[in-house]
Amino acid sequence: MSILPSTQPITTIGVHAYPDAQDVVEDVYAEVVRRNPGEVEFHQAVHEVLSSLVLALERYPDLRHERILERLCEPERQIIFRVTWEDDRGQVHVNRGFRVEFNSALGPYKGGLRFHPSVYLGIIKFLGFEQIFKNALTGLGMGGAKGGSDFDPKGKSDREVMRFCQSFMTELYRHIGEHTDVPAGDIGVGTREIGYLFGQYKRLTNRYESGVLTGKGVDWGGSLVRTEATGYGLVYFVEEMLKMRGESLEGKTCVVSGAGNVAIYTIEKVHQLGGKVVACSDSDGVVFDEQGIDVPLLKQLKEVERRRLKDYTQYRPQAKYTPKGNIWKIPCDVAFPCATQNEISGEDAATLVRNGCRVVAEGANMPTTPEGVRIFQEAGVLYAPGKAANAGGVATSGLEMSQNASREQWDFETVDQKLRKIMQNIHYQVYTTAEAFGVPGNYVHGANIAGFLRVARAMLAMGLAG
């Protein structure tokens, strides 16, 4: 069955004098910059999406009259609050918490919480805006949101993290719920943090509302595969991209930036499908292991012992560690940026192309600068934007919500099969939408237009409340 947006046309509601689509997009972007000064990441994310949507506005002019773009670019709700907590020495600290509930046309707000010193309102808005389209592509009933704090969990004891999470949830709890807003984890927020947050939510509400948070432990409402989901889903998406060229990951050399949850399980799935990841990184440096990254060792260092990547060479002496190294200088067939936003510059992209890279798939959110994206596309590199390629994490969060609602827990194979099917469907939507709008092979335009049209239909159906 076709899932092209064009198979469900947005009907004309009357005769209007429509402004030019390009003019609309430029005006909307200028207004976003004016209303959100200094939020450069949000500006970048909006510009990237709007650049694709000229094609959609030309085909469906009524969307201009209904001001769908303007409504999408303005969050439905923005919450900023103080988080006061006490460290193990009795010293009081004050951080800032955020939750931006961007769009609920398709379902309850859904998006992670990020605890990192770089967090400010612009970062949260960029992530929440991206989440709208990413969630739409999954086909599940989820709106878009994001939240977090400038709190840094690195170097903190479990008790300090617990006290911070409890203070954070003491304000956040009044804004979330399984039918309202369902946060999950992100950078700095794993199962430990979700556990502390859920415990405080339960204490404050006197309800065991499993569906209010995802990324929970498997023993208390979490889903199998949730830990692996973003990385696995990323590789499943690349598998589909390569199939369109009659290829596979078998025998391909790969590099994966990062050494966190997304990176680890990207590496694991690449190895399972016959590829070889020879390098990964953390904020301190890069490890190159020509024999292939040792995944069990990486898991032990990063997930169990919470150590730095430089310690990898203690156990794999043939590997080379480069402090503050640049992973994108290492020749590869496939690059997986899985660390953070804007980590691949134009110069990095040019280096990857010169060294023979043929596929770039984003495990992080917006890890490639606009110049880098342009270079990849002009060079004919298969480029998969994060809103499509890394949607496996939120897709499995949606599956966790389904299990919570029915008081069930599916086995690993069942969830993994559902995840793979979702990623195949996302690839199909993106690929065929790009073709239908006259830009075949352009995964950026395909992802943006497909996600946008699904949200736009729901907003139109609900009138001005959409």
Phi then psi for 449, rounded to 5 degrees? -70, -45
- Distance between CA atoms of 345 and 324, rounded to whole angstroms? 16
Give the domain CATH number at 457.
Answer: 1.10.285.10
Give the helix, strand, coil percentages of the chain, each rounded to 5. 50, 15, 35
Closest CA to 151 of 132, 172, 137, 136: 172
Instruction: Please report, in tens digits, the pLDDT of each residue of the chain (466 residues total).
Output: 233 444 444 444 344 456 799 999 999 999 999 999 999 999 999 999 999 999 999 999 989 989 999 999 999 999 999 999 999 999 999 999 999 999 999 999 999 999 999 999 999 999 999 999 999 999 999 999 999 999 999 999 999 999 999 999 999 999 999 999 999 999 999 999 999 999 999 999 999 999 999 999 999 999 999 999 999 999 999 999 999 999 999 999 999 999 999 999 999 999 999 999 999 999 999 999 999 999 999 999 999 998 999 999 999 999 999 999 999 999 999 999 999 999 999 999 999 999 999 999 999 999 999 999 999 999 999 999 999 999 999 999 999 999 999 999 999 999 999 999 999 999 999 999 999 999 999 999 999 999 999 999 999 999 999 8
- Tell me if 459 is assigned to some domain: yes
Residue for token pair 């890890």: 367
Structural domain ending residue among the three candidates 384, 415, 437: 384
CA distance between the termini of the chain: 27
Is the same domain home to 237 and 355?
yes
Is the same domain home to 141 and 242?
no
Is the same domain home to 185 and 119?
yes
Give the domain CATH number at 159.
Answer: 3.40.50.10860
324 is catalytic: no
Listed in sequence order, the residues at least 6 apart from 57 whose beta carbon sits closer than 8 Å to its beta carbon are: 21, 24, 25, 63, 64, 69
What's the pLDDT score for residue 62? 87
Phi then psi for 280, rounded to 5 degrees? -145, 180
Is the same domain home to 235 and 364?
yes
Q: Are 239 and 249 in contact (CB under 8 A)?
A: yes
**Type and span of the H or E element at 406:** helix 392-406
Tell me the β-bridge partners of 78.
100
- Tell me if 398 is assigned to some domain: no
Closest CA to 46 of 74, 86, 13: 74
- Tell me if 362 is assigned to some domain: yes
Is the same domain home to 147 and 258?
no
Give the domain CATH number at 380.
Answer: 3.40.50.720
Is the same domain home to 184 and 239?
no
- Distance between CA atoms of 419 and 225, rounded to whole angstroms? 9
Burial of 67 (0-12, 13-18, 19+ CB in 10 A): middle
Structural domain ending residue among the three candidates 338, 362, 384: 384
Is the same domain home to 160 and 269?
no
Return the SS3 of 283.
coil
Domain ranges, residue 194: 77-209
Return the SS3 of 223.
coil
Burial of 207 (0-12, 13-18, 19+ CB in 10 A): exposed
Phi then psi for 217, rounded to 5 degrees? -65, 145
- Tell me if 404 is assigned to some domain: no
What's the pLDDT score for residue 9? 46
What's the pLDDT score for residue 18? 61
- Tell me if 395 is assigned to some domain: no
Structural domain ending residue among the three candidates 209, 237, 258: 209
Is the same domain home to 176 and 58?
no
Catalytic residue, chosen from 110, 134, 146, 276, is 146
DSSP for 134-169 reads: HHHHHTSS--EEEEEES---TT--HHHHHHHHHHHH
Report DSSP state, residue 305: S
The total number of structural domains in the chain stands at: 3
DSSP for 79-121 reads: EEEEEEEE-TTS-EEEEEEEEEEEE-SSSSEEEEEEE-TT--H
Is the same domain home to 65 and 83?
no
- Tell me if 390 is assigned to some domain: no
- Tell me if 220 is assigned to some domain: no
Is the same domain home to 43 and 188?
no
Tell me the β-bridge partners of 99.
79, 147
Q: Could you count the other beta carbons within 10 Å of the beta carbon of residue 285?
A: 17
Is the same domain home to 250 and 375?
yes
Q: Are 308 and 284 in contact (CB under 8 A)?
A: yes
Is the same domain home to 279 and 196?
no
- Tell me if 401 is assigned to some domain: no
